[in-house]
């Protein structure tokens, strides 16, 4: 198992290109199962989660062609099986979303209950209720969801009890081939949902309202192929901006969308960063200064994203003053706190571990630390960048799920970081 070895103390300085959003790409792979013709997805990041989705499609008999630029061509009409196995679905939550497209297109699907990061309960009840409202017959057996429908799904009005990104995406995909109109209410509004809707519409779907809390889908009889470019990964972009701010450095991220990160950019300005923007780039410059502490509350988009919370805590560890971070989206999302405290941070948890109060210290000290989930793992890398001495981050397979070439990108910004094999 690989680890990352970091010698802290360097200010990040330079430019990098944002990768495509893995949360967009992975769900588009599921959406391709709706099409009768090849679907080509471009700007796909080279990540473990993407590899898992490709393997999952392959296990169904779907032909997947990948070129040297990670453009992925999916031929769903070669499908031979309709069962998504546990050993693949358990490793990433997004893979569960093949259920609805297979059901809508082929009338049957059998998918293992999902896995993913251990950051608290993320039930799929909203997914299943939505599919049942569209006419699916669903049974649970031996940890698998078995779904069938006679002929076509039927359009319906569906209200989500909570704002669910995966649920919104899942039912939106299934409804594209349902008979009649489907109206989804209390939808999640993330940019990745808009990106998926754009992809579905390029395939011939009729989806309106993505990015608002009400989405309307007029079902069609078939979907064809398309070519669609995945949007930039806003979380990856934000992570490198935060890392530069924590080190007092400067970074320019190209091929990204500043509009997807409004709240983060305002918070980084509060921390003392100078921010410059273009149509497809963001530049942050701390001019060598120590950041000021930031306080925030996580909430669904367009509020502050939970996926950047751990990175902000890493910044607050070495900031001037005290920052308070309240997590409202997931339970158990402060597992990185104990590892940071081992490095000399001053963080205490309150209110049943939903609030982290971070009092900045002059410096952290390098130490061996262990990652517990995707975003926590990269926050420990940021902590290592600002620490004195050597930090070793273990279990970096979590990072490889969501950050493309993380050590290469950070090295190009001046960090002393390398991947080493565990002895």
CA distance linking residue 126 with residue 160, whole number of Å: 7
Nearest to 244 by CA among 218, 276, 222: 276
Task: Tell me if 295 sits within 8 A of 324, measured CB to CB.
Answer: yes
CA distance linking residue 69 with residue 146, whole number of Å: 36
Question: Phi, psi at residue 334, to the nearest 5°?
Answer: -115, 25
45 DSSP 8-state letter: -
Q: Which helix (H) or strand (E) holds 166?
A: helix 165-175
CA distance linking residue 22 with residue 103, whole number of Å: 24
User: Chain-centre distance of CA 165, in angstroms?
Assistant: 10
Helix (H, G, I), strand (E, B) or coil at 385: helix
221 DSSP 8-state letter: S
Residue 105 CB partners (closer than 8 Å, separation 6+): 33, 34, 76, 177
CA distance linking residue 265 with residue 241, whole number of Å: 9
CA distance linking residue 82 with residue 92, whole number of Å: 18
CA distance linking residue 236 with residue 243, whole number of Å: 11
Over the range 337-366, which residues count as b (16 or more CB within 10 Å of their CB) and which as e?
bebbeebbbebeeeeeebbbbbebbeebeb
Upstream peptide bond of 119 is cis (omega within 30 degrees of 0): no
- For the question of residue 117 being annotated catalytic, the response is yes
Over the range 71-80, which residues count as b (16 or more CB within 10 Å of their CB) and which as e?
ebbbbbeebe
- The end-to-end CA distance of the chain, in Å, is 9
Nearest to 401 by CA among 377, 368, 421: 377
Residues acting as catalytic residues: 117
């Amino acid at each position: 198992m690989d680890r990352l070895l970091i010698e802290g103390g360097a200010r990040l300085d330079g430019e990098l290109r944002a990768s495509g959003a893995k949360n967009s790409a992975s769900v588009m792979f599921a959406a391709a199962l709706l099409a009768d013709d090849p679907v080509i997805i471009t700007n796909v990041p080279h990540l473990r989660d993407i590899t898992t989705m490709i393997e999952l499609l392959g296990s169904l008999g779907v032909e997947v062609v990948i070129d040297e630029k990670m453009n992925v061509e999916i031929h769903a009409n070669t499908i031979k099986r309709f069962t998504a196995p546990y050993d693949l679905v358990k490793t990433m939550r997004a893979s569960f979303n093949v259920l609805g497209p297979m059901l809508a297109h082929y009338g049957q699907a059998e998918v293992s209950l999902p896995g993913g990061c251990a950051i608290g309960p993320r039930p799929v009840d909203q997914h299943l209720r939505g599919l049942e409202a569209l006419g699916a017959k669903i049974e649970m057996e031996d940890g698998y969801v078995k779904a069938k429908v006679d002929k076509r799904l039927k359009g319906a009005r569906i209200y989500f009890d909570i704002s669910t990104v995966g649920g919104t995406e899942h039912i939106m995909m299934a409804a594209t081939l349902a008979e009649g109109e489907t109206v989804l209410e209390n939808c999640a509004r993330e940019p990745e949902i808009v990106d998926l809707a754009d992809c579905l519409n390029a395939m011939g779907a009729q989806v309106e309202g993505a990015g608002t809390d009400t989405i309307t889908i007029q079902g069609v009889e078939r979907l064809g192929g398309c070519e669609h470019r995945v949007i930039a990964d806003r979380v990856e972009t934000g992570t490198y901006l935060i890392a530069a701010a924590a080190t007092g450095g400067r970074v320019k991220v190209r091929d990204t969308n500043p509009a997807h990160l409004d709240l983060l950019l305002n918070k980084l300005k509060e921390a003392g960063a100078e921010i410059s923007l273009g149509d497809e780039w963001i530049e942050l410059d701390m001019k060598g200064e120590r950041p000021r502490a930031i306080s925030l509350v996580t909430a669904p988009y367009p509020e502050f994203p939970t996926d950047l919370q751990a990175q902000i805590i890493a910044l607050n560890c070495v900031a001037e003053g005290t920052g308070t971070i309240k997590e409202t989206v997931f339970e158990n999302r402060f597992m990185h706190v104990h590892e940071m405290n081992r490095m000399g941070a001053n963080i205490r948890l309150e209110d049943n571990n939903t609030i982290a109060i971070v009092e900045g210290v002059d410096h952290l000290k390098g130490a061996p630390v262990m990652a517990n989930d995707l975003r926590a793992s990269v926050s420990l890398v940021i902590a290592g960048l600002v620490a004195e001495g050597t930090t070793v981050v273990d279990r970096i397979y979590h990072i490889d799920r969501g950050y493309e070439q993380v050590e290469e990108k950070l090295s190009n910004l001046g960090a002393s970081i390398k991947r080493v094999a565990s002895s």
